[in-house]
């Protein structure tokens, strides 16, 4: 039996984690599960969990751990996730991680890859990001470019208000506060890898695939050894 790819991708906002997760999921033919997507889907399906989530969000509150865990549990138990999945945006807390371990017991090992990018590199990356005021396209500009226009429609490019340095640094502070315990929770495991995300998307994609293959190889060897006994 092949080893399922039960993958959790961690990484700071702006690291390109979502795109990497989508690409890896497509390539490996496993579903990419993001909490935003499954929340929307649960609400649309009108399931009992979905109705509870909708009521919570309609009241302007955040969906709590317990409900989020129940929704993830339901999603990863579906047949299309039997060969694995890529989880993006979950877990965010140690209590969610503990619950995920419990959900996964008997379903194969959890692979965790942290896409690490230094704060300064993220700030510099986001400082170059511009959004077109006309068509909404996002693009990166060179530091020395003079009032560039949108390549798609010629519209004026503007810095998003939430990409200013102080806002980005605040977002990163919140991220590190929440994620540091999560990385500590996972980092001693043999199935944990940290990759350098301060590179081109292609280089990160390659490193992510190598990390996944390496852990899968290790798990295969372990499964083989177990079967021999
Ligand atoms: Zn445009």
Question: Could you read off the pLDDT of 132-165 as tens digits, one per residue?
Answer: 989 988 888 876 666 678 889 999 988 888 788 8
How close is the Cα of 151 to the center of ligand 1, in Å? 7
Quick check: 196 and 207 in contact, CB under 8 A? yes
- φ/ψ bin of 18: left (φ > 0), alpha (ψ from -120 to 50), beta (otherwise): alpha
Could you tell me the CA-to-CA distances from 161 to 16, 21, 126, 228 in Å, in that order? 19, 26, 11, 59
Question: Could you read off the pLDDT of 6-46 as tens digits, one per residue?
Answer: 999 999 888 888 899 999 999 999 999 988 888 888 889 88
Q: Which pLDDT band holds residue 56 (cuts at 50, 70, 90)?
A: confident
How close is the Cα of 10 to the center of ligand 1, in Å? 31
Percent of residues, the chain, with pLDDT higher than 90: 50
92 tagged catalytic: yes
Spatial neighbors of 198 by CB under 8 A, at least 6 apart, are 116, 117, 118, 121
How close is the Cα of 163 to the center of ligand 1, in Å? 18
Global pTM?
0.84
Q: Which of 73, 125, 128, 129 is catalytic?
A: 129
129 tagged catalytic: yes
How close is the Cα of 14 to the center of ligand 1, in Å? 21
Question: Could you read off the pLDDT of 84-137 as tens digits, one per residue?
Answer: 999 998 998 899 999 999 999 888 899 999 999 999 999 988 888 889 989 988
54 tagged catalytic: no
Tokens of 168: 């980005």
């Amino acid at each position: 039996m092949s080893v399922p790819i039960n993958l959790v991708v961690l990484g700071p906002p702006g690291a390109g984690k979502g795109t990497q997760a989508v690409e890896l999921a497509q390539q490996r033919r496993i579903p990419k599960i993001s909490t935003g997507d499954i929340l929307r889907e649960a609400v649309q399906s009108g399931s009992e969990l979905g109705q509870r989530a909708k009521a919570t969000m309609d009241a302007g509150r955040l969906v709590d751990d317990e409900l989020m865990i129940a929704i993830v549990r339901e999603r990863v138990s579906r047949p299309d996730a039997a060969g694995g999945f890529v989880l993006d945006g979950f877990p965010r807390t140690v209590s969610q991680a503990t619950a995920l371990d419990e959900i996964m017991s008997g379903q194969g090992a959890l692979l965790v890859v942290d896409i690490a990018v230094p704060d300064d590199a993220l700030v510099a990356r986001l400082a170059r990001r511009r959004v077109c005021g006309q068509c909404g396209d996002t693009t990166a500009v060179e530091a020395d470019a003079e009032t560039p226009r949108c390549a798609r429609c010629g519209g004026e490019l503007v810095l998003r208000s939430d990409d200013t340095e102080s806002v980005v640094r605040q977002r990163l502070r919140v991220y590190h506060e929440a994620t540091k315990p999560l990385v500590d929770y996972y980092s001693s495991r043999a199935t944990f890898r940290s990759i350098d995300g301060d590179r081109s998307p292609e280089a990160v994609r390659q490193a992510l695939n190598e990390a996944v293959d390496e852990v899968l190889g290790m798990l295969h060897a372990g499964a083989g050894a177990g079967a021999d006994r």
